[in-house]
Chain A
Amino acid sequence: MTENSLDTAGRQAAVGPDGPISSTVAKAPPAGGRPPRPTLGRRVVVFADSLWRPALVLAVFFAAWWFVAAREYVPNYLVPTPGQVWETMTTQWSELARHTLVTLYETVLGFVLAAALGLVTAVAIAYSRTLDKALYPIVLFAQVIPKIAIAPLLVVWFGLGLTPKIILAVLIAFFPVVISGVAGLRSTDPELLDLAATMGAGPWRTFRKIRFPNALPHLMAGLKVAVTLAVVGAVVGEFVGASEGLGYVLLLANGNLDAPLLFADLILMSAIGIVLFVLVEIAEALLIPWHASRRAGVSLTTS
């Protein structure tokens, strides 16, 4: 039993938490420590409860859209009806799906690279004063330069393939990861670091068991921003020069004054962003349930 619990401790250190969904609201510490897990039924109710408000807003929005378009207050070549968009979506689904996958691929790859690169940079900046001074100006420069302005340059350098889109996604998504990572790593309680020193632990152990898990809530917030920005990067890359992807389709639809296709395309772009955002949120809930349980009730989605 004791052996087993120690194992748990080790695992906690590696990822942070000790189980996926122990993130319940803790009002008062009950006699046995943590409150019991909610049942499945209870969780469904909570989920539905968190969902009805946004669902209602969306329904109202769609109703207003449908009303305006169907009554032709605005001509249909400018604002198509939801039905027309749905029709386009279903009849051209195989084509649209292919383009969506391309954009999704660029976005995910860009995001993952940005996250990895951003984390490494954040660690370097948080740990070394020299690197802090040396890297910060470059990071800042990379942020303030308008990415859209360098998109054509990237196309000239890397051609019309996927590379310039991925690079653009990385460039855009990189900054929030660095900033949140540095903030997280620097937020470690100095007394904990003193304590770690008297425990005789080396920098790697201190990082793994104290600093990194401590930085996770900040980092996850940065990753959520980054993932939505990565979509923007990929699409902008496609605008400048591409033969596939949702950005390319958007330009095409715009040129042909094909409003239903344009709208369908926009919906798919947003869908990519929303799905990826929710995935990062789920990852957050799994990685740091202790944090989720602290801000209980404020959560935007699932968890």
Chain B
Amino acid sequence: MTAAPAATGTAIGMSGLTVRFTTRRSQTTALDDVSLDIEPGEFVTIVGPSGCGKSTLLKIVAGLVKPTSGEVSLLERPVRGPQKEIGFVFQKAALLEWRGARANILLQAEMRGMDRTQAARRADELIEMTGLTGFEKALPHELSGGMQQRVALCRALLHSPPVLLMDEPFGALDALTREQMNAELHRIWRETGTTVVLVTHSIAEAVFLGTRVVVMSPRPGRIIRTFPVELPAHRDYAQVMSDPRFDRLATDLRGLLGSAAANH
């Protein structure tokens, strides 16, 4: 079912990424020798305890943070400075509060100088796909948290980026809305075939969404293990939750994260 794009090679390549922050008093290592290759069309989820540098990792891929050492490539090109071929979704929706939902989505087009008619058509498609129809003009403060995050997702997808980076996008939502958003994101990923890297605290989210789950250790952040997720490409939320394979993997992850924290 996965609409695998024709592109070959790696979508994202990270090798030996290390990040150190030097403050006046001490030096902290946020990321320690992280290497990971992500194929086009993959949905990679990264789980780890707070402060393990997961978010920093995404920012490095986006070119917003420079690693102390190591190399990153995006679509086979080395990352130097902010990258344009990506869509970024943060935990906060980060919407412009003076713009309606549709205008917020179209910010992407305006900032990029995209063709207006085309962008407008794409925005309407996304609005329909994410169930925002009827809320096009609503200002962010008139929308619920889930709705705001949908707008942010549409904005990130407007230019059909080959790579979508998501930093705990549903972390601030209530459990029910979160499940719903997970199911929706899964569907969108299947429909678009975009490469997705999603950082999360939630083991359930990581397993349900990912084709591969990457587990990171507490600071200094290292990759402890990666698990392939042996679940069908087309997933239904309720079915997956009762699938024994889901249970097994979730238990493994929980054990690994628990022991990683204990050893620290």
Residues of A within 8 A of B (CB): 2-3, 5-6, 8-10, 12-13, 16-18, 26, 29, 31-34, 189, 191-192, 194-201, 205-206, 209-210, 213-214, 288, 290-291, 293-294
Contacts and interface: CB of A to CB of B under 8 A. Distances in A.
B247 to A, nearest CB: 35
Given A9-B110, A12-B98, 10 more contacts: A9-B106, A13-B99, A16-B98, A29-B138, A33-B138, A34-B142, A189-B94, A192-B94, A197-B82, A290-B139
B110 A209 contact: yes
B121 interface: yes
Interface in B9-63: 59, 62-63
Contact of B88 (A34, A198, A209, A288): A198
B64 A31 contact: no
B222 to A, nearest CB: 25
Given A9-B110, A194-B59, A214 B96 contact: yes
Given A29-B138, A198-B64, A210 B96 contact: yes
Given A6-B106, A192-B94, A205-B111, A34 B139 contact: yes
A191 B90 contact: yes
B136 interface: yes
A194 B102 contact: no
Contacts, number: 114
A5 B120 contact: yes
Contact of A290 (B63, B83, B98): B98
Contact of B86 (A3, A13, A31, A198): A198
Interface centre among B86, B97, B99, B111 (most CB of A within 10 A): B111
B111 A199 contact: yes
B135 interface: yes
A201 B111 CA distance: 5
B84 A200 contact: yes
A29 to B, nearest CB: 4
Nearest to B141: A294
Contacts of A205: 110-111
Interface string B66-110: 000000000000000011101110101010111111110011101
